Amino acid sequence: MPVVDVTLAQGRTPEQLRTLVTALTDAVVEAVDAPRESVRVILREVPPTHFAAGDVTIAERRARAQEEPS
């Protein structure tokens, strides 16, 4: 039973998350010839304040981007 565990920042629509589940399921079925019903997808959404790269959270990156002049 393949398990795909994805962590992503909150903020996507239910439709986007549904599309992601389908795309991941399709990819696993195609890549390893797993039966579709055996594929498990877990989506873990975290607040943008709890997801960081390079010591900067997503929330901080978004705030900085809004402060920059266009």
- Confidence (pLDDT) at 68: 81
The per-residue pLDDT for 55 is 96
| Cβ contacts of 27 within 8 Å, gap of 6 or more | none
**pTM of the prediction?**
0.84
State the catalytic residues: 2
- pLDDT score, position 45: 97
Q: Please, which pLDDT band fits residue 1 given cuts at 50, 70 and 90?
A: very high
CATH 3.30.429.10 is the classification of domain 3-67: yes
Copy the structure tokens of residue 40: 């498990």
DSSP annotation of 35 reads -
Q: In the chain, where are the structural domains located?
A: 3-67
For the chain, percent of residues with pLDDT exceeding 70:
99
Whole-number pLDDT of residue 69: 76
